[in-house]
Amino acid sequence: MSVNQREIGRRTLFAEIRRHGRIPRISLSEHTGISRATVTTITAELLREGLIEEVTSESGDKDARRGRPKVDLKVRGDARLIAGAKISNRSVSLVLLDFEGRQLADHEVELEQTANEASDLASILAGHVGDLAAKVGRGLVDVSGFGLGIAGIVDAPRGFVHWSPSLTSRNVEFGQILTDTLSIPVFLDNDANLVAMAEKSFGLGQGHSDFIVVTIESGVGMGVVIGDEIYRGTRGCGAEFGHTKVQLEGALCRCGQRGCLEAYVADYALLREAMSASGGQDSRQVDELLEAAKHGDAVAGSIVERAGRMFAMGLANLVNIFDPELIILAGEQMQASHLYAEEVIEVMRKLIVQVDKAPPEVVVHKWGNQMWARGAAAYALDNVSELALQEMKEHVA
Amino acid sequence: MSVNQREIGRRTLFAEIRRHGRIPRISLSEHTGISRATVTTITAELLREGLIEEVTSESGDKDARRGRPKVDLKVRGDARLIAGAKISNRSVSLVLLDFEGRQLADHEVELEQTANEASDLASILAGHVGDLAAKVGRGLVDVSGFGLGIAGIVDAPRGFVHWSPSLTSRNVEFGQILTDTLSIPVFLDNDANLVAMAEKSFGLGQGHSDFIVVTIESGVGMGVVIGDEIYRGTRGCGAEFGHTKVQLEGALCRCGQRGCLEAYVADYALLREAMSASGGQDSRQVDELLEAAKHGDAVAGSIVERAGRMFAMGLANLVNIFDPELIILAGEQMQASHLYAEEVIEVMRKLIVQVDKAPPEVVVHKWGNQMWARGAAAYALDNVSELALQEMKEHVA
């Protein structure tokens, strides 16, 4: 067995153990096609490293032939602590997972302002991850990895933020700054990508290899899964949806361009419409506007209806371009429900190329920020597992 | 060596030989990591099957150690004949390749009408492929595979045409009809996908793993290459571009919907604009309109300019969504040059999300129909090679 084969074997077996929760050695061999002898060797290494552990089944479930308790393997929860966080407009949601992916603690904190200096935000996050670990009697230093989801244009493999509403500067090596400040491995990605990953790992995307997640918060985000992988584009700024254009030279967007989808469907877009219709007198909030639209207010109705149609047009373009199996509309704010409405999805269905096959399924998944943070933690967990297996390679070799 | 390993080895080595043109056995082993003994066994099988042949290098290039001529392996051109065709509006372009991919003959024929019954079109094509083969003294029966590119919405793996301007009916098992009529294996795909494949195999996409090809003829087509593969979507109608919407409830499209990109940039869209501006008096053709626009005609200028801006908006949306390395604008008609103009690409650059990285490269590749047909033939060549290797498996096993 070459070093390379052993490394692949280790990765394959560990992934299989994680996937099954608990599994006997013999099934590992059957599922992966790796010989029993190699399974025994590799699992012994994983046990020695403390990454997995043996658990004995209940006495009722004995190995019939030998009359002794069946021994399963499972990931050892205590092996690592993993943190994940999602930065929203003015708050941070954090969760702490063990190495099995079980949630141990969560934490929710306010931010004083939306956009922060990168180094300030890194310090703030370091403090909060420390506080989170303290909830289970541990410290920041005990955390093996931190996953962070942030809005904006993020080159995840490089940990580079082209632009984010949470940062005062553009073009920030934010991954490096976080790693330096927290002194633990940090894994950074666009928040919508992490939601897509979470949907794939433990949400509505389970069992689907090709789907799109559209997130609606203060902006519109997108995560695209193609062939079981997050699609990232070649410059690290792929899968942008909120700033695709739905109207040539249309409404002015906060990004400085015109006609972006967000300039029609974001909260600020609805508010400025109401303001312009009233000559600057309308001081209603978004939830009030939506409520008024429901109760027959003509101006509010017109504003909300156009947002829905523009959103449907954007979705229809995604369907035409990707032809996905499934679209998941994810978000925590109830106020996006006008965009999730059946009327909107029906408009989308009319705007896609008509073939004699059912259009892709569209499902709505209302997430709390805790779930976004769990997606970030799941991303870190994958990466920490990979690091643990790599470190092992060095020990053993 | 298991049957499966042998099959993979055969495929790997054959692909490597094809890629290199000619290559000695020892390099095959070095490049693929397959042992010399296995390379010897497998290449002996391929030689026996007549799929490859040995060629002796020039005397000047002797193996220094042994003083005897160096022997390379190459694909045997005579092993198979492959035909490819592209159906345009009112014509069919055909090419004949040998198994090495060398073009042996071409053929260009007119069609009496744009849309035909599937069985009629199959008969017409059978005749033309026969005529094509006759140009090298062979017949339809000597052709091992036929690749066909057709406009419309095609589920390539199933050979199913949801809709095509070349067919009078929707939802046609056209691949099966062609196979039955020609009595040889037929490989059908959307024409823009085949152009993308051709760009990848022997055009401007060589060496690129992620790029988009946009084709402009009477309609606007798209082929997307992600991770070296054509992206097809999950219902076989992915990568549709011409009917993405650039205007909510905009201009009426021939597809019956409103606001499609084609409804602004296709020939018929330009002509109806001119017609409407003149109260039905303008009888100019597209080339005349374009010429007039160049010479300062205000109406023609306005029509052409808007088409360019809508096209730029559509392209910008593709860049935002895919973040490709490269966009290839392909087409044969000189009259699409107003859409390929530098001004249009510049508008696109302004409409994409701005990051501190260069926007994707946009290149124009003016193709004749012969090149589209070569793309179709290349697709058939890949599939026929695969079939040949599979048949071999049965012989040998």
Q: How far apart are CA A355 and CA A357, in angstroms?
A: 5
Cα–Cα distances in Å, from B163 out to A211, B11, B167, B171, B362?
A: 24, 34, 7, 6, 30
A79-196+371-382: CATH topology: Nucleotidyltransferase; domain 5 (3.30.420)
Neighbour tally for B142: CB within 10 Å: 14
Averaged pLDDT score across all residues of chain B: 90
B242-324+333-366 has the same fold as B79-196+371-392: yes
Say if the Cβ atoms of A244 and B171 lie within 8 Å.
no
Per-residue pLDDT reduced to its tens digit, B243-272? 999 999 999 998 889 999 999 998 889 999
Is position A191 annotated as part of the catalytic site? yes
- A243 inside 8 A of chain B by CB: yes
> Between A267-277 and A298-322, two packed helices, what is the crossing angle to 10 degrees?
140
The domain segmentation of chain B, as residue ranges, is 3-75, 79-196+371-392, 242-324+333-366
CA distance A46 to chain B (A): 29
Q: Which residues of B are catalytic?
A: 191
Task: Find the catalytic residue in A72, A155, A189, A191.
Answer: A191
Residue A263's pLDDT is 95
Two structure tokens written together for A6: 């052993």
> What kind of architecture, by CATH, is found in domain A3-75?
Orthogonal Bundle (1.10)
Say if the Cβ atoms of B162 and A309 lie within 8 Å.
no
Q: How far apart are CA A34 and CA A53, in angstroms?
A: 20
Say if the Cβ atoms of A317 and B317 lie within 8 Å.
yes
Per-residue pLDDT reduced to its tens digit, A373-385? 999 999 999 999 9
> Phi and psi (nearest 5°) for B80?
-145, 155
Say if the Cβ atoms of B210 and A171 lie within 8 Å.
no
> Residue B239 is which amino acid?
A
Cα–Cα distances in Å, from A74 out to A24, A52, A78, B120?
A: 9, 5, 12, 63
CA B81 to mean position of chain CA atoms: 19
Per-residue pLDDT reduced to its tens digit, A203-236? 899 889 999 999 987 789 999 999 888 998 887 7
- The CATH class given to the B242-324+333-366 domain equals alpha beta
Give the residue on B whose Cα is nearest the Cα of A306. B248
- Element counts in chain A: helices (H) and strands (E): 12, 17
Q: Which of A162, A310, A323 sits opposite B234 (nearest CB)?
A: A323
B79-196+371-392: CATH topology: Nucleotidyltransferase; domain 5 (3.30.420)
Q: How far apart are CA B331 and CA B334, in angstroms?
A: 8
Q: How far apart are CA A279 and CA B29, in angstroms?
A: 77
Say if the Cβ atoms of A237 and B322 lie within 8 Å.
no
Say if the Cβ atoms of A323 and B162 lie within 8 Å.
no
Per-residue pLDDT reduced to its tens digit, B333-367? 656 788 888 999 999 999 998 888 889 999 998 87
Q: How far apart are CA A247 and CA A244, in angstroms?
A: 9
Q: In what order do the strands lie in the sheet with A52-56?
A: A22-23, A71-75, A52-56
- Which residues in chain A are contacts of B240 at CB distance < 8 A? 320-321, 323, 353
Per the CB < 8 A criterion, the answer to whether A355 and B237 are in contact is yes
Q: How far apart are CA B117 and CA B196, in angstroms?
A: 27
Per-residue pLDDT reduced to its tens digit, A106-117? 999 999 999 999
- Which residues in chain A are contacts of B210 at CB distance < 8 A? 233-234
Residue A160's pLDDT is 94
- Which residues in chain B are contacts of A244 at CB distance < 8 A? 316-317, 320-321
